[in-house]
A and B are shown apart, each in its own frame.
Chain A
């Protein structure tokens, strides 16, 4: 009896721990804006051990933040909002990166300057609203600082 309880606990506990592990926003970064550019972009890797969904994004640094996907058809590129949000399958990192899914900051109140930070709130179906201070990388950056 005792061994079977222990066995059960050993099976269930890691699953419980996994379910309780929070949704994470890893290595977020924004790209500095060029002169005259009032639209910014934020990338990050999202990970939810138990599965989650990113529902919306917001930032006090801009008029409107949106979750966007870049859709390429042949040689055409178009951006479309992810109206249904972004699904995070359990344990699978979802990468927001140049040329793909990104968070667009529209109507920036001031330019994004390399070395600074931009505040961002991400609202998830399970994890609720998480806020991050996103480091701003130089214009030439292709990814987060190592």
Chain B
């Protein structure tokens, strides 16, 4: 009997531990799996998405500039607009020459509702320099995978059919050659972000 309990309990326990680890350290685990031969973490890649005019756009189109990549969605009331605000306010604090070397990109995690045009109009409202991008579910999924972004639908209680997105909320800074440089926190002040961008793209 005791053995039977153990037989049942051990796999359950193991599953719980693994599940907990994935939930707690999920992004970290993914990073380790995808670490390159030299042990460096690979973030980013040659995503292929759709720009607001309906044309296809890839990460290479942004080469030569420092790309700030942020994933979110237009139905997001709080964190996404706050982060895009921060980016816009930080850009406004930069000298024109530095500003011209920066390309902020807002990629939807909700392609079902966010069309390329909607993403473009939305992002531009914060600052004309921010490019909003969408794409097919598969294209967005591939971009999320490249950036190790987790995005998950979360139904809204009391409103069947409607949903929010749980998602990774950091800003990825990509170097002019397209490789990953660093992440910026979405809770940064515009002042701090401007200072950091000035240091990078001056």
- Count of interface residues, chain A, beta-carbon cutoff 8 Å: 35
Stretch at the interface among A21-29, A46-54, A85-93, A99-107: A99-107
Which of B25, B78, B123, B125: most chain A CB closer than 10 A? B78
Complex contact A74–B159 (CB within 8 A): no
Which A61-86 residues sit within 8 Å CB-CB of chain B? 63-64, 66, 68, 70, 72-79, 81, 83
Known contacts A76-B150, A76-B166: does B79 contact A35 (CB below 8 Å)?
A: no
* B74, A37: Cβ atoms closer than 8 Å: yes
**A98-135 residues at the B interface, CB under 8 angstroms:** 98-99, 102, 104-107
Contacts of A77 in B (CB 8 A): 79, 166-169, 186
Are B122 and A140 within 8 A (Cβ)?
no
Contacts of A105 in B (CB 8 A): 77
Separation of A41 and B74 alpha carbons in the complex (Å): 12
Task: Write the chain B residue with the least CB distance to A103.
Answer: B77
Residues of B within 8 A of A34 (CB): 74, 81, 121-123, 125-126
Given A39-B75, A139-B126, check contact A99 B164 (CB 8 Å).
no
- Grouping DSSP codes into helix (H, G, I), strand (E, B) and loop, the A interface class, with mixed when no group exceeds half, is strand
Whether B40 sits at the interface, judged by CB under 8 Å, is no
B75 to chain A, nearest CB (A): 5
What separation, in Å, do the CA atoms of A39 and B165 have in the docked complex? 13
Interface contact B168-A75, CB-CB below 8 Å: yes
The residues of A with any CB-CB pair to B shorter than 8 Å are 31, 34-41, 63-64, 66, 68, 70, 72-79, 81, 83, 98-99, 102, 104-107, 139-142
User: Which residues of B does A touch, CB under 8 Å?
Assistant: 24-25, 27, 74-79, 81-82, 85, 88-89, 118, 121-126, 150, 154, 156-159, 162, 164, 166-170, 183, 186-187
